[in-house]
Chains A and B, each alone.
Chain A
Amino acid sequence: MFLGVVIGSIWGARQAAGLEGLKLLQVRPVSLPRFGEPGARDLLPGDCPLQDRVIVAADTLGAGPGEHVLVAMGSRVRDIVYDSRKPVKAVVVAIVDSARIAVGEVS
């Protein structure tokens, strides 16, 4: 699982069988500072820069743009949240209320 920010939704007029009715979100993972980086301090997820990559994740919880979410990857997660016939690999499993990341404290 990783922390990411929802940056938007995706709709498709023509979809693979099984994708109908799924809500698809674009998620950008947050990028944490490295251990011991100068200026590291207690961070809120909003302080973390976002990575360039975008991951498309299916959502059952109703996350909206700008919200921080936890995304779990893999077909086994998909089997648990949906069923084995859904062609998805990344699933939003939690919407983050708050997080505190102490890169400075432990470096």
Chain B
Amino acid sequence: MILARVVGEVWATRKHRRLQGYKLLVVRPYCWYEPAHEAGHLVAIDPKLDAGRGDDVIICMGAPPRWQSEGDAMPVEAAVMAVVDRCEIDEAAFGPPRPLEFLGGPPPTLAVGRIRTEPIAPGRGRC
């Protein structure tokens, strides 16, 4: 699952029949993991959560989004699983990657980051 912000919406009339009735959202992930491609954005279906532009959402990628259509396998690879109310992130996790000792870099130092306790403010997103 990835954390992403909804930046837009897509409307389509001609589409795969199993996509009928689902909202299509353009989202911008905060961080990628194993992107199947590097388009820099994702289009995810929103089954029933009614997320809108500006919302932070949890996107599930891979097979689980296909379970949502009550048994009908859907041709999607990303779906909105939750709308985020509040998020706490260790800021050190967003720092530059530290070199590994066995690769010849300095030994890693224990990074103790301040935990942000406020919700992600608009405009603070880093990608």
> Are A and B interaction partners?
yes
Is B60 positioned at the interface, with any CB of A under 8 Å from its CB? no
Interface size range on B against A: 35 or more
Interface pick from B32-40, B91-99, B104-112 = B32-40
Q: Is B81 an interface residue (CB 8 A)?
A: no
**B37 contact from A29, A31, A35, Cβ within 8 A:** A29
Q: Is the CB of A32 within 8 A of B28?
A: yes
| Neighbour of B11 across the interface among A76, A81, A91, A97, CB < 8 A | A97
Given A72-B77, A106-B7, answer yes or no on A95-B40 (Cβ-Cβ < 8 Å): no
- The reply on B13 being an interface residue by CB < 8 A is yes
**Are B127 and A3 interface neighbours, CB within 8 A?**
no
Q: A35-B127, A73-B77 are in contact. Are A2 and B14 (CB under 8 A)?
A: no
Task: Say which residue of B63, B73, B77 sits within 8 Å of A1 (CB atoms).
Answer: B77
- CB-defined contacts of B63 to chain A, threshold 8 Å: 76
A-B contact pairs, 13 of them (CB 8 A): A2-B42, A2-B43, A4-B39, A29-B37, A53-B37, A60-B16, A61-B14, A70-B10, A77-B76, A93-B75, A95-B15, A102-B7, A106-B7
Told that A93-B15, A99-B10 touch, could you supply 8 new A-B pairs with CB distance under 8 A? A2-B42, A32-B28, A32-B40, A35-B123, A51-B40, A55-B37, A96-B11, A97-B12
